[in-house]
Amino acid sequence: MKVTAGSHTGTGTWLVQRATALVLALAMPVLCAYVLAAVPADFAAWRALFQPQAMRAACVLTAAALALHAWVGMRDVFMDYVRPTLLRLTLYLAVIVILAGSVAMLAATLWSLP
């Protein structure tokens, strides 16, 4: 059967991967430095660390960038190694659910802090 590769999505996903890599390269050291500057010893200190709305937003945005970056990477791995369409779609769906669920859970956790 003829192989028909198509859909003009290559550049878009490539840009997403590069852009999110840039966001992660900038945000991760800043977030790590922020936490390491005052390593929380107990729950009260940990809560205080994540109390500012800006910190919460930065964490969720970084996690979203990480999820998008991981999605493109996992999609590439599946495209290379998983050929049966149904299995590949199932794996795509599983990764999307796990990544989107993780980001949603992080947001819910941060904004549910007492």
Partner 1 sequence: MKFRLYRYNPESGEPPFMQDVELDIDRAGTMLLDALIAIKAQDETLSLRRSCREGVCGSDAVNVNGRNRLACITPLVELKEPVEVRPLPGLPVIRDLIVDMQPFFRQYRSIKPWLVNDAPEPEVERLQSPEDRSRLDGLYECILCGCCTTACPSYWWNPETFVGPAGLLQAWRFIADSRDEASAARLDHLEDPYRLYRCRGILNCVDICPKGLNPAEAIGRIRTQLVKRRV
Q: From the list 26, 30, 79, 108, which residue makes contact with partner 1 (rule: CB under 8 A)? A: 79
Binding positions for partner 1, 16-75, rule CB under 8 A: none
Q: Determine if 114 is a binding residue for partner 1 (CB under 8 A).
A: no
Backbone angles phi, psi at 112, to 5 degrees: -100, 5
Nearer to partner 1, 35 or 82 (CB): 82
Amino acid identity of residue 108, one-letter, is A
Residues 90, 74 contacting (CB under 8 angstroms)? no
From 5-13, 43-51, 57-65, 85-93, span contacting partner 1 (CB under 8 A): 5-13
Q: Determine if 7 is a binding residue for partner 1 (CB under 8 A).
A: yes
SS3 29: helix
Q: Determine if 5 is a binding residue for partner 1 (CB under 8 A).
A: yes
Q: Which two tokens stand for residue 7?
A: 């859909």
DSSP, res 52 = S
Q: Position of tokens 């969720």?
A: 60
**Interaction site with partner 1 (CB under 8 A):** 3, 5-15, 76, 79-81
